[in-house]
Amino acid sequence: MPVTPSPSSLDRTHIPLPPNTEIYLNLHGMHTNPSSYPNPTVFDPKRWVITSPSSQESLRPAPLFFAPWASGPRVCPGKKFAQVEFAAVLGSVLKKVWVKPCKKGGGGGEEARKDVWRCLRRSEPRGATLKMMDEVWLKVERR
């Protein structure tokens, strides 16, 4: 049975968590926090631009709490385009090469193939990605 800490035992730097706890970011809350973004609900592209006294503009670095490839109301408007572009590039690369399982340091064969299947069976889907539980080595060769 997990131990629930009492509120008095908690502080902002140490929060005890039971084993195998999953933590998710509140992306909407992160992007609409007024201490991070003044007027966070107002569309203001200029918040990302620094104008020098000589009227030269440059992009302001993104703060640590900025997740443009996230999801929800603040999802990156170019995300879908980038995903399609990635698939197109990957497809054009895979037309020219073979990707084969191998052992660390070289060599392949049936044992390397079994390693890949074992890893895939132990891995977990995480949305559109896969959380790999083991190390897998792949060899890329020209067709």
Beta bridge partners of 50: 58
The pLDDT of residue 49: 85
- In the prediction, which pLDDT does 19 show? 84
pLDDT at residue 11 in the model:
57
pLDDT recorded at residue 127: 62
At 56-112, the pLDDT tens digits run: 888 877 766 676 666 666 677 787 888 899 999 999 999 999 988 888 877 778 888
pLDDT, tens digit (0-9, with 9 covering 90-100), for 24-66: 777 778 778 888 778 888 888 888 788 888 888 888 777 666 7
- What the block records as the tokens of 140 is 């890329």
Give 70 or 133, the one with higher predicted confidence. Answer: 133
Phi and psi angles of residue 73, each rounded to the nearest 5 degrees, phi first: -65, -20
pLDDT at 50: 87
Q: Across-strand partners of 58? A: 50
Q: Is the pLDDT score of 1 beyond 50? A: no
- What per-residue confidence (pLDDT) applies to 92? 95
3-state helix, strand, coil in the chain (%, to 5): 30, 15, 50
Is the pTM here over 0.75, yes or no? no
Taking only the tens place, the pLDDT of each residue in 113-131 is 888 888 888 887 776 667 7
